[in-house]
Structure 1
Amino acid sequence: MNTEKSQNLILTRDGIIEVIEATEENSAARQRACKHFKNFVDYTGLQFDIDFEKLGGNYSNRTVDQKAKSIIIPSDERLVEVIDELPDDPWKNIYKVGLIYGLRNHEHFFADRTPLKEGKDYILIPEHTKTGFRYCYPNYPEWLDEFELRQAQFPEEIEDFRKQYEQAPQRTSDSVESTELGKIVSGKLKLHKYFPGGRYYFLRYAWVRRSTIDNPMGEEEASNSLGHSVQTHRNIYRRWISVEDFRRSYERFRNNPVRAAAPKRSKRN
């Protein structure tokens, strides 16, 4: 990541616009970038003629609904198959962690995976990050051993960054840095080669699908694990679950031999 370049860019009007326009249009990331840059410009008193509201575009439940209708999240079976198709290097383990825990792409640079080596099932996101300290849990704990993650090797770029981060724990990651770090992960994995749409965040949406349909988890617990509010979980993330997913969940519930039986009508004399 070229930190020096980023620091120079934010001192010019064109540089600010360039960084903002590098994010996806009509996205939460675009709106966050506009918000932080506007605060920066207001705080420093710089006289830049930038229409942050227009640059931010439209990101709402309706926007997510429109995207959800046009995008199909790959099945877990397909997402697991991709593991064997990825190049056999440490970035494959980043994919596995994203699949199991639903991390944001940039969070791989901060995640503390030490608990895995100690035989625990969770990983940790440290305090001075976008969402603050949290535990992240898997939907399928058995994947940790099946995918050999407890003693896995991870990319040098990520391990070196984490060592530097641990030496300056009071430094908070900002949205611009997070965006750049996320691009590194997405660029290395190149998931567009393996399924339509090919976005890293499909791994995160698949985690939500699992926690809602396959191995149901309470909304509060799932939201805490992913690092967002229950409202965001309910209004944004669950919209990526298809009608077919919900139908499959109902059929499994309906055919469950141990589900509670309906009360019988009492017989009238």
Structure 2
Amino acid sequence: MPKLASDLVTILVTPQNSAVDIDGRIAQANGRLKASKVRVSIERRGGMLWLRGTFPPKPGALQIQPYRQKLALGVNANPAGVQHAEKQARLMGAQLNLKQFDWTDWLGDRVSPLGTVGYWVERYEQNYWQRRARSLKSQETWQSNYQRVFVKLPSDQQLTEQVLLDAINATTADSQPRRRTVQALAKLAKLAGLEVNLSELTGNYSARSVNPRLLPSDTLIAQVVQSIKNPGWRWVAMVIACYGLRPHEVFHTDMTDFPMLRVLEETKTGARFVYPLYPEWADAWVLHDRVLPPLQILGMAGNTKLGAKVSGFFYKNKLPFRPYDLRHCYARRCFEFDLGVDLGAQLMGHAPEIHKKTYRAWIDEATYRKVFDRLIYRSDRPLPPTTLKDN
């Protein structure tokens, strides 16, 4: 067997070197490059190798003068890849010294070193699914957090800073779509080696406070959910009201330990347990008898579609509140019942910071008044010193 082929076989059958070993080889190669006064270095980003140096602006870039940039080599971070990267670095360094550097020498079949938007979106999707197993949940995350953003980009144009800025500016400032767009495009730019800082464009979006006066009373909630004629949708509305679930979570529940309800792992924040703050509702409404509405998409649709079905039912039937209003009212109850922040957050399946910053903002003056009256007018409250009689 020829030596080159033998070496290749050795590399292929040898167990994968650790990242530490590869980083050591990269450091040695960069040492040799520096000693040779080559102005290009090798970097590892995940399992791939890149070159970094001060290069002329890429076609389509806004800069005029040379600046620090990265170039994806498209080779794996293994011993053979490091050898190839070192050779490429020396070639690139020689072109820079002779003032013969031209980005077209490094493009291959691409329009520019950045490639088109469509090219890099395809690369990002491939990379995404290499890191994640496909499931209903991961597919839904891809569609809502990334595909929804990427589909609005001009796929046949170069991926440039201006293309990203145009897409961001097309969204409303300080909004959830703006935040999602910036986050997705920042990751796309990073993969393409496009050095832009988009973080300042994210804005100040946070979950919006609901006007407490728009939240229904518990009396109204009980009257409305019990009046729903369809038994499946009635059960859905009652469970959301009683346990404060997200709309889609009602389809991923286990009532084995009733009245405690278990939310299964298919949901946004994973498995958790939830107790009814009104156990009387759970008993009177016979919630342990699970009755789902006749939806053909059950077992096939992602959580977003399931949640949309619930919201659609509330809207079409003109119920006087939305599904999430029932969740907000459960949060209000957590405060009224003196549940600690950590416990309330655990029951609702979100971080304590969210419970404090978001849900407590929905507590209206009347709720605070109830808590104040209960504390101040209890019989064992500490009393002030005896008031002196008037002279």
Based on CA coordinates, which of the two structures has the bigger radius of gyration? 2
In the alignment, which residue of structure 1 is the partner of 2:239?
Answer: 97
From 208, 219, 224, give the equivalent of 2:331: 208
In the TM superposition, what is the alpha-carbon distance from 1:240 to its structure 2 partner?
Answer: 0.8
In the TM superposition, what is the alpha-carbon distance from 1:57 to its structure 2 partner?
Answer: 6.3
Q: Against the structure 1 CA distance between its residues 27 and 107, is the aligned structure 2 distance closer, same or farther, given a 3 Å change threshold?
A: farther
Identify the structure with the greater strand proportion.
Answer: 2
**2:381 partner letter:** A
Matches of 1:246 and 1:13, distance apart in 2: 45
In the alignment, which residue of structure 1 is the partner of 2:381?
Answer: 261
Matches of 1:27 and 1:201, distance apart in 2: 19
From 230, 251, 266, give the equivalent of 1:88: 230
In the TM superposition, what is the alpha-carbon distance from 1:187 to its structure 2 partner?
Answer: 0.5
Matches of 2:240 and 2:271, distance apart in 1: 18
Question: Does residue 1:179 correspond to 2:304, yes or no?
Answer: yes
Matches of 2:291 and 2:378, distance apart in 1: 41
Q: Structure 2: which 5+ runs fail to align? A: 1-135, 156-171
Matches of 1:191 and 1:250, distance apart in 2: 39
Question: Does residue 1:193 correspond to 2:331, yes or no?
Answer: no
Q: How many residues align?
A: 233
TM-score calculated relative to the size of structure 1: 0.68
**2:206 partner letter:** S
In the TM superposition, what is the alpha-carbon distance from 1:263 to its structure 2 partner?
Answer: 5.2
In the TM superposition, what is the alpha-carbon distance from 1:14 to its structure 2 partner?
Answer: 6.0
Q: Against the structure 1 CA distance between its residues 266 and 243, is the aligned structure 2 distance closer, same or farther, given a 3 Å change threshold?
A: closer
From 260, 273, 280, give the equivalent of 1:122: 260
In the alignment, which residue of structure 2 is the partner of 1:68?
Answer: 211
**2:373 partner letter:** E
Any residues of structure 2 matched to 1:1-269 within 5 Å, and which? 12-13=151-152, 30=177, 33-34=180-181, 37-38=184-185, 41-42=188-189, 58-60=204-206, 63-64=208-209, 67-68=210-211, 71-109=213-251, 111-115=252-256, 118=257, 120-157=258-295, 160-161=298-299, 177-190=302-315, 193-195=318-320, 198-213=321-336, 215-257=337-379, 260-262=380-382, 265=385
Among all aligned residue pairs of Structure 1 and Structure 2, give the percentage whose two residues are the same amino acid: 26
SS of 2:323's equivalent in the other structure is coil
Q: Against the structure 1 CA distance between its residues 156 and 15, is the aligned structure 2 distance closer, same or farther, given a 3 Å change threshold?
A: farther
**2:181 partner letter:** C
In the TM superposition, what is the alpha-carbon distance from 1:223 to its structure 2 partner?
Answer: 0.2
Q: Against the structure 1 CA distance between its residues 202 and 255, is the aligned structure 2 distance closer, same or farther, given a 3 Å change threshold?
A: same
Displaced runs of 4 or more, over 6 A: 7-11, 51-54
In the alignment, which residue of structure 2 is the partner of 1:171?
Answer: none
Identify the structure with the greater helix proportion.
Answer: 1
Q: Against the structure 1 CA distance between its residues 83 and 128, is the aligned structure 2 distance closer, same or farther, given a 3 Å change threshold?
A: closer
Q: Structure 1: which 5+ runs fail to align? A: 17-23, 166-176
Q: Against the structure 1 CA distance between its residues 158 and 112, is the aligned structure 2 distance closer, same or farther, given a 3 Å change threshold?
A: farther
